[in-house]
Structure 1
Amino acid sequence: MRFTVTYRIFADSQAEAQARAQEIALEQTVEIPRDLVPAGYVTEEILGRVEEIGPEAEGRFRASISYSPDSAGAELAQFLNVVFGNSSIQRGLRVIGIDPGEEMIRRHPGPRFGIEGIRALCGRPRGGLIAPVLKPQGLDADALAELGYLCARAGADVIKEDHGIMDQPMAPFRERVEKTAMAIARANAETGGKALYFASLAGAPDEAEANIRFAKQAGVDGLLVMPGLVGFGLVARIARDPWLNLPVMTHPAFLGPHVLSPDTGFDHGVMFGTLQRVAGADISVFPNVGGRFGFSAGECGQIAAACRDPRGPGLTMLPSPGGGMSVARAADMAAMYGADTVYLLGGALLRLGTRIGEGIAAMRAELDRADQARS
């Protein structure tokens, strides 16, 4: 019934690490000194338990602490609060693994569609998925819609708006979503394709719900959400709504500080894999190796593995590396990430202008060659 969080503790000795682990168990639950913890239910159930602790490397220890689902409650925010609330403000502590356990998975079941569901929606049963990005910020709604049309005509699988395009005056959310959804639907009708349009969700908290429903009625195929800015709870709200029945793509904007320091925050796979799956994302965007953000091959591999780990939580989801992606790198990226991947393409395609379809076709050919080589 209990769920487990594994922490990396930076300490000079086993005794120091053990003491630190006990402090974390208190901090993440009762937040009072040990001698003040009430006997009975609070001590036996609510208080975190240090299940295992041992050395990982010099100055580093791995500690697994279990928590009661009663402590986490039903809200995703409180689950995350127990995982790494107050302790996230301390130095020398990093979350390197989360096992939600059966009860928390029942409460937070994860992706609605997952890998197989997204493949069914876009009609791509095998091979890597191509996802051009509608950008740059500053284009009006008509220009963005036309770009989406060209991408859909060329055979893109997923067409996502850039995360920086939300509700600015040059392309207001509702006008943009309506026009782009119509343009991509027209292209699909002309080609028989199934390109999916993911709109970048905009709106202040009191506007988000109305915008979600507007987007659904306008014909979007999914929503791009930035949990670092609008919260993981909004991802879960969309993923669990049977009326919406929309897949969710999450974007890493504002989440960088959670992973960039080696001795605080979260491991890359936990943040961009496990937590996104728990929230209900079907596709997780993250910075690609070799791009301008500096993630290593090992870190990107860790993310992809966490997205597709068959042990859960919930359905497997699609990793979506972006930044520095191009046709020239397609073969190397396909070898690194494999078929169950959404490959984001931005500037490399936009350079082609109205010939953007040629770039998408070339990317498709490279990914298909890689798929054939694997089989």
Structure 2
Amino acid sequence: MPDPVRIEADYLIETAFDPRQAAEIMAGEQSSGTFVAVPGETPELKARAAARVERLDLVDEVAAPSLPGAGKPAGSKPVYRRAVVTLSWPMDNIGPSLPNLVATIAGNLFELKQFSGLRLLDLRLPSSFAQKYPGPKFGIDGTRRLSGVHGRPLIGTIIKPSVGLSAEATGELVGTLADAGIDFIKDDELQADGPACPFEDRVRAVMAAVNRAADRTGKKTMVAFNLTGEIDEMRRRHDFVLAQGGTCVMASVLAVGHAGMIELARHTELPIHGHRAGWGALSRNPGLGWSFPAWSKLWRLTGCDHLHVNGLANKFSESDESVITSARSLAEPLFEHAPMTTVPVFSSGQTIRQAAGTWAAVKSPDLIYTAGGGVVAHPLGIAAGVEALVEAWNAAMAGVAIETHAQGNAALAASLDAYPAQGA
């Protein structure tokens, strides 16, 4: 478990210099040191405040630098060595402050010339962070209680078209989906509070449709309304959703920032659906940025109840292996007495085809599985799209081949034709 008095972070580094020397430079830059010795940096101060290189394991060598702008030693042709490095910092440097933690573990170090690659892989935090930041208020248990879905994933969709619908048209679409029995609906991250579809008008129209369907079916669909904005705007929007009977709010975490998400979580009485729009800029280059397990720990601390992890065979660039690692990481406890687990949200080009693979990978029903076109573009209509997705998951969890299960279900059979397997 984490050291009670030190912060630890693991990095993958690439450097043309001696890896130990480069790691020491990184530790100095991110604590008491700078590019030259200064009079005040006494041995006593360094012993008290300097970051330490706790571990360094060489991984491999490459002939060319992964990133531009890196320095190299004078003389012979450089060899770029990669290593996994663990640094640690005393808690007395910053205390349990999440914004200052980010500056410490992921600040200027990415710009150091000694590195032609640098990626934050993981971090471990003292329990004092859990005392200050309680993490998700709802998680999977609260999400299941509010949605009424137990024993299987929440089956969801995204409002499509993403933008361009009026508030009234959005309400009509949600009504159709809710009548079909869908568990979860979310705004697209691009849908905000513009003049064409004002936030309050959209919430009124959507919740009227949700409540009408609930009166008929006894099931209240959970809708994640995108309230991304300035802190006071998010508080007001949250309160409006709550007053209208809504059961979830959504924010784009990178757009809002850590401090904004912390304040939203302190205020909210509803689950927070965290969208990771912009994540690719931090992760797509394997030699730079963050790994999802490290990055998501910070958003779990801020209070995100749900967090996007992409999806298998997705429309973006992320590999299935990375998606699976991301999803599993959200179930790993942050602290021994405060697990702070967050619900993984699978999305991006998902259909009935990825259900079996997702189940095989995570072996847990504690997730949200969202399909936009995989629901609303079903050839037999939206209700059939919802039914097919639920049946695909029933088959996956029962260990039955989807083709076999589809023999007794017209909606699922039509989905197999509408969404062919990759390479078919």
Same fold at TM > 0.5: yes
Provide Cα deviations, 1:276-322, integer angstroms capped at 9, x if missing partner. 31222111113223222111011101101111114557321111121
In 2, distance between residues paired with 1:360 and 1:261? Answer: 36
Shift in Å at residue 7 of structure 1? 0.9
Q: CA deviation at 1:141?
A: 0.5
CA contact under 8 A between 1:152 and 1:184: conserved in structure 2?
A: yes
Residue equivalent to 2:172: 146
Residue pairs, 1:68-79, within 5 angstroms = 68-79=90-101
SS of equivalent residue, structure 2 residue 330: helix
Aligned residue among 190, 206, 211 for 1:180: 206
Q: Give unpaired runs (5+ residues) of structure 2.
A: 62-80, 401-424
Distance 1:224 1:96, change over 3 A: same
Tell me which residue corresponds to 2:108: 86
Q: Which residue pairs with 1:307 in the alignment?
A: 330
Tell me if the contact between 1:113 and 1:315 (Cα under 8 Å) persists in the aligned partners.
Answer: no
Query: Cα offset for 1:12?
Result: 4.4
**1:307/1:319 contact within 8 Å kept:** yes
Counterpart secondary structure, 2:152 = coil
Name the counterpart of 2:157: 132
Which one of the candidate residues 294, 297, 322 is aligned to 1:270?
294
1:3–1:101 contact (8 Å) kept in structure 2: yes
The CA distance in 1 between the partners of 2:341 and 2:275, in whole Å, is: 17
C-alpha change, 1:194 and 1:372, in structure 2 (3 Å) is farther
Question: Could you give the per-residue CA deviations for residues 336-364 of structure 1, whole angstroms, max 9, x where no partner exists?
Answer: 34322211111122214893121111111
Quick one: structure 1 residues 179 and 45, their matched pair in 2 at CA, closer, same or farther if it must change by over 3 Å?
Answer: farther
1:248 corresponding residue in structure 2: 272
What is the DSSP-based 3-state SS (H/G/I as helix, E as strand, rest coil) of the residue aligned with 1:208?
helix
Which residue pairs with 2:120 in the alignment?
Answer: 95
Equivalent in the alignment of 1:24:
26
How do 1:356-371 residues align onto structure 2 when only pairs under 5 Å count? 356-371=382-397
Greater relative contact order (CA < 8 Å, ≥ 6 in sequence):
1
Is residue 155–residue 389 contact of structure 2 (8 Å, CA) maintained in 1? yes
Unaligned runs of 5+ in 1: none
Structure with greater helix percent: 1
Distance 1:213 1:46, change over 3 A: farther
Is the 2:59–2:84 Cα contact (8 Å) retained in structure 1? yes
List per-residue Cα deviations over 1:315-334 (Å, max 9, x = no partner).
Answer: 21111121120123322333
CA contact (8 A) 1:203 1:211 kept: no
Distance in structure 1 (CA, Å) of the matches to 2:226 and 2:141: 23
- Asked if the contact 1:112/1:240 (under 8 Å) is kept, the reply is no
| 1:319 matched residue in structure 2 | 344
Q: Say whether 1:298 aligns with 2:321.
A: yes
Query: Which residue matches 1:107?
Result: 132
8 A contact 1:182–1:219 mirrored in 2 = no
2:9 aligned to which of 5, 12, 22: 5
Q: 1:96 Cα deviation (Å)?
A: 0.4
Asked if the contact 2:187–2:225 (Cα under 8 Å) also holds between the matched residues in 1, the reply is yes
Give the secondary-structure state (helix, strand or coil) at the position aligned to 1:215.
helix
Conservation of the 8 A alpha-carbon contact between 1:26 and 1:32: yes
In the other structure, the counterpart of 2:239 is: 213
Q: Which is greater in Rg?
A: 2
Partner of 2:73: none
How well do the aligned residues superpose, as a CA RMSD in angstroms? 2.4
2:265 is matched with: 239
Q: Percent identity?
A: 27
Which residue of 36, 43, 46 maps to 1:43? Answer: 46
Number of aligned positions between the proteins: 369
- Could you say which residue in structure 1 is the equivalent of 2:370? 344
Q: CA deviation at 1:256?
A: 1.1
Amino acid in the other structure paired with 1:89? E
Cα shift at 1:265: 0.2
Name whichever of 229-238 and 91-100 sits farther off. Answer: 229-238
